[in-house]
Amino acid sequence: MADHSADDAPEYDIARIQQKWQAVWDELQPFSTSDPDDTRPRKYVLDMFPYPSGDLHMGHAEAYALGDVIARYWRQRGYNVLHPIGWDSFGLPAENAAIKRGVDPLAWTYENIAQQKKSMKLYAASFDWDRVLHTSDPKYYKWNQWLFLKMYEKGLAYRKASWVNWCPFDQTVLANEQVVDGRCERCDNIVEKKKLTQWYFKITDYADRLLDDLEQLEGHWPSKVLSMQRNWIGRSTGADVEFEIEGREDKVPVFTTRPDTLFGATFMVVAPDSELAAELVDGSTPDVQAAFAEYLKAVQKETEIDRQDASREKTGVFLDRYAVNPVNGERLPIWAADYVLADYGHGAIMAVPAHDQRDLDFARKFGLPVRVVVDPTAAADPSIETDAGDDPVASDATVLDPVATGEALVGDGRMINSGPLDGLSKRDAIARMIELLEEAGTGRAAKTYRLRDWLISRQRFWGTPIPIIHGANGELIPMTEDQLPLTLPPSEGLDLSPKGTSPLGGATDWVSVENPLDGTPARRDPDTMDTFVDSSWYYLRFLNPNDDTQAFDPAEAEKWGPVDQYIGGVTHAILHLLYARFITKVLFDMGYITFTEPFTALLNQGMVLMDGSAMSKSRGNLVRLSDQLDEHGVDAVRLTMAFAGPPEDDIDWADVAPHASAKFLARAWRLANDVTSEPGIDFSTGDVALRRVTHRLLADAPGLIEGFKFNVAVARIMELVNATRKAIDSGVGPADAAVREATETVSLALSLFAPYTAEEMWEQLGHQPTVASALWRTADPALLVEESVTCVVQVDGKVRDRLTVSPDIAAAELERLALDTGGAKRAIGERQIVNVIVRAPKIVSIATKG
């Protein structure tokens, strides 16, 4: 038995090993991708870049551990792997820290970046340090401005006045995506509505493509993210119907998903905060105008949270105006009610109370007429085809009276009271009504989306200035590319505190300019861009981060793009990913790139929790990464992250055992110390049993890594370590060639998870550094075949006997052997055999009866 007492055996000193190899990596640069003559096939592996709000935390540690496994894996498989890192370094936290502590946001940001970079190096993340970028660097945000100007040129960047989300604490507008449950995503304060003129990107022009292209990502992105994106875009199909309004010149379009129920429309509702409502009220009586003004005031006082309370009563005011139903000429009273939204569809609806729950609630409250046009009891008629799932309702007079039941009839049935549609099913009636509307020129098939345009202006300092000059008469003058970058003025002397207008407005020298067209006084746009603009295309900037002549090199994009594997948290499932997909499509349309999706594959890691909940200082369950690294070593923390479970699952730090990972690594490392054979020994002379374990790992690890089953891969390495330990201590001994082969394989496999330990082992085994640039080995198929396998003999589903047979045994032979076993004979007894299923060589299943 080998002697492992502390006195005479070397100790696994992870602190020393870490220090040693960091220096070696700095010198050898095994992760550089700068050689233009590299002929290896390429992989682009990208971790979501961090926001520098402090030092790295446990969440970063998990993400970077997993991303690194993938990057190192592909390198080991012979690929030229681009694995860059940068910082998403514009944004609110820098500014808030500046306000709170009176520091310069720039200094604060770059101090944090320096600290994070140091931690990443310690953490052994295999980044290409030559490609670092910071979005707060004018070298970077110049190209944000370029992108803005290109979008402006194409009509994809525009200004409009609209009711926007306003965070009263951060004193800035927010995108819809940044409002969660009616609260500001960042500070959790209740969001208010304000009418402001702001810059928008026209993402709605791309709604169909953003939705339809998700199909390409199926199987490569988590299905959860795909469904979140689908929900967010929220396409619904139906028809636009044009209604005439008495006393108004132009017709009013209304979107509906149920054009089949047009004959059941009994009133119309417009959004109180829409222009249409204001205009209709203008043409109404003074009484109506007063009532409406009061109602509008009440509506505008409501927060998003009030509005989303589904249980609240319907409210509204009658406008004393009338629309005309285009299919039957009926007069429909027009109401304003806040259950109709100004910015969805056309801000007006046709109300069909019999077949829409909201309309029914409203009609019941205000005593408006209800007319049933779909008879759900009639679907039993065999000549009527109903949609699957919409089962006919039992024939019962009461269901046909929604006013009495309070339940709208939303299911399928047979059309009644609907003139030319009578007798049709819902589906057929929808199609027929669209035809009729199109023939009459009063409507057409239409689609509407939940997705809104992307509001990109922010009234904040620490962001990309918008490269637009406002002339004295309100004209917009875009800067020209040669004038970029438009850099931020120094923060010194500026009031950064939230006050509802951009701090840049106070930088008089900066904001006041001459109108480039006529020399009259003009002002720069004082707002800055949403930082999601920065991150929407950064993956392209990594291809040539220091190029001053272009945002990115289309030739490099052709070489490397799109990203083969993107890794990051599910927190960005909608926002960032949707914007990046959008900008990618825009750049494709402009001809800069040849692909339409930025991220071919996506891995979402879970969160790191403590005692079942997210870590936070206020909760007092914060685990500090630096403490963990000090206590257990980098490798043990990384290994723990990979081993804890499937990567997309949350890790509860209370459930995992980094000390056990450290113990395992020491055990693996000790193997390398124990090996006594020389490098280059002929492995084929080694012990076959141990070689089998080694080669099974060689064969299986690639599939496990590519399937993101890192935890299983680690378990398999542990298995090999255990088998090797046993071979050394109580088997063939430390000099056997198979022991060296196994230990070298452990080092190679561990190099993905525990790079320091793996390097140390590799060197101890007599190899040149680095194991990080060594290649994975091919399994010998001969060693993957077992000499004999156990075949199970089942009778009526129960295991009755076992056979030890050759793996290539013939089915007929196996059947004969199985039927002859004592266990099978006993179980069959007098019963009659009805079927024998043979799955050679693993199982024989006998079915009997009697």
Query: Where would I find the H helices in 123-194?
Result: 138-153
**Helix, strand counts (H, E) of the chain:** 28, 34
Distance CA 421, CA 429 (A): 6
Calculate the CA 845 to chain-centre distance. 46
Residues in 230-269 at the binding interface with RNA, rule: CB under 7 A: 231-232, 234, 236, 238, 255-258
Distances (CA, A) of 159 to 154, 468, 809: 13, 11, 76
Of residues 24 and 847, the one with the C-beta less far from RNA: 847
Of residues 82 and 373, the one with the C-beta less far from RNA: 373
165 binds RNA (CB under 7 A): no
Q: With left for phi above 0 and alpha for psi between -120 and 50, is residue 612 left, alpha or beta? A: left
Let me know: does 307 contact 314? Beta carbons within 8 Å: no
785 binds RNA (CB under 7 A): no
Count of residues near RNA by CB under 7 A: 84
Task: Pick from 40, 307, 364, 559 the residue near RNA by CB under 7 A.
Answer: 307
Residue 655: count other Cβ atoms within 10 Å of its Cβ.
13
CB of 236 to RNA, least distance (A): 4
305 binds RNA (CB under 7 A): no
User: Contact letters (x/-) for RNA, 6-25, by CB under 7 A?
Assistant: x-------------------
Sorted by sequence, the CB contacts under 8 Å of residue 591 that are 6+ apart come out as none
CB of 346 to RNA, least distance (A): 7
Residue 197 structure tokens: 């003129």
Task: Pick from 416, 477, 809, 847 the residue near RNA by CB under 7 A.
Answer: 847
Task: Pick from 95, 128, 356, 763 the residue near RNA by CB under 7 A.
Answer: 356
Q: Exposure string (b/e) for 488-518, b if CB count within 10 Å is 16 or more?
A: bbebeebebebeeebbbbbbeebbeeebeee
208 binds RNA (CB under 7 A): no
Residues in 806-835 at the binding interface with RNA, rule: CB under 7 A: 835
Of residues 537 and 708, the one with the C-beta less far from RNA: 708
Residues in 431-450 at the binding interface with RNA, rule: CB under 7 A: 448, 450
Distance CA 551, CA 179 (A): 31
In order, the DSSP letters of 565-633 are: EEEEEGGGTTHHHHHHHHHHHHHHHTTS-S-S-SBS-EEEE--EEETTEE--TTTT----HHHHHHHH-
Geometric angle at alpha carbon 811, from 809 and 817, rounded to 5°: 80
Task: Pick from 214, 336, 340, 636 the residue near RNA by CB under 7 A.
Answer: 340
Task: Pick from 32, 216, 227, 594 the residue near RNA by CB under 7 A.
Answer: 227
Task: Pick from 481, 649, 678, 786 the residue near RNA by CB under 7 A.
Answer: 649
171 binds RNA (CB under 7 A): no
Let me know: does 351 contact 268? Beta carbons within 8 Å: yes
| Part of the chain binding RNA (CB under 7 A), chosen from 4-12, 110-118, 120-128, 805-813 | 4-12
CB of 312 to RNA, least distance (A): 5
387 binds RNA (CB under 7 A): no
CB of 365 to RNA, least distance (A): 11
Of residues 590 and 712, the one with the C-beta less far from RNA: 712
CB of 112 to RNA, least distance (A): 28
Among 130, 93, 120, 123, smallest CA distance to 109 is for 93
Geometric angle at alpha carbon 285, from 280 and 287, rounded to 5°: 115
Of residues 89 and 724, the one with the C-beta less far from RNA: 724
Of residues 460 and 576, the one with the C-beta less far from RNA: 576
Among 536, 342, 584, 585, smallest CA distance to 452 is for 342
Task: Pick from 55, 279, 330, 652 the residue near RNA by CB under 7 A.
Answer: 652
Distance CA 561, CA 791 (A): 49
| Part of the chain binding RNA (CB under 7 A), chosen from 14-22, 43-51, 462-470, 836-844 | 836-844
Let me know: does 432 contact 424? Beta carbons within 8 Å: yes
Distance CA 218, CA 224 (A): 11
Task: Pick from 361, 385, 589, 815 the residue near RNA by CB under 7 A.
Answer: 361
843 binds RNA (CB under 7 A): yes
Distances (CA, A) of 529 to 191, 195, 354, 657: 20, 19, 47, 44
Task: Pick from 93, 569, 645, 702 the residue near RNA by CB under 7 A.
Answer: 645
1 binds RNA (CB under 7 A): yes
716 binds RNA (CB under 7 A): yes
699 binds RNA (CB under 7 A): no
| Part of the chain binding RNA (CB under 7 A), chosen from 201-209, 308-316, 400-408, 815-823 | 308-316
660 binds RNA (CB under 7 A): yes
284 binds RNA (CB under 7 A): no
404 binds RNA (CB under 7 A): no
Helix (H, G, I), strand (E, B) or coil at 804: strand
116 binds RNA (CB under 7 A): no
Among 504, 501, 423, smallest CA distance to 464 is for 504
Among 403, 334, 331, smallest CA distance to 367 is for 403
Among 420, 326, 418, smallest CA distance to 375 is for 418
664 binds RNA (CB under 7 A): yes
Task: Pick from 792, 811, 817, 833 the residue near RNA by CB under 7 A.
Answer: 792
303 binds RNA (CB under 7 A): no
Of residues 579 and 643, the one with the C-beta less far from RNA: 643
Dihedrals phi, psi of 733, to nearest 5 degrees: 90, 165
Q: Exposure string (b/e) for 454-487, b if CB count within 10 Å is 16 or more?
A: bbbbbbbbbbbbbbbbbbeeeeebbbeeeebbbe
494 binds RNA (CB under 7 A): no
207 binds RNA (CB under 7 A): no
Among 737, 683, 209, 249, smallest CA distance to 449 is for 209
Task: Pick from 28, 196, 494, 718 the residue near RNA by CB under 7 A.
Answer: 718
Distance CA 683, CA 771 (A): 19
Helix (H, G, I), strand (E, B) or coil at 445: strand
Task: Pick from 775, 799, 810, 812 the residue near RNA by CB under 7 A.
Answer: 799
CB of 49 to RNA, least distance (A): 22
User: Contact letters (x/-) for RNA, 532-571, by CB under 7 A?
Assistant: ----------------------------------------
Of residues 238 and 734, the one with the C-beta less far from RNA: 238
790 binds RNA (CB under 7 A): yes
CB of 164 to RNA, least distance (A): 14
657 binds RNA (CB under 7 A): yes
Distance CA 39, CA 78 (A): 10
Of residues 513 and 601, the one with the C-beta less far from RNA: 601
Residues in 446-475 at the binding interface with RNA, rule: CB under 7 A: 448, 450
Of residues 679 and 707, the one with the C-beta less far from RNA: 707
Task: Pick from 339, 582, 592, 756 the residue near RNA by CB under 7 A.
Answer: 339
Distance CA 118, CA 136 (A): 19
Helix (H, G, I), strand (E, B) or coil at 235: strand
323 binds RNA (CB under 7 A): no
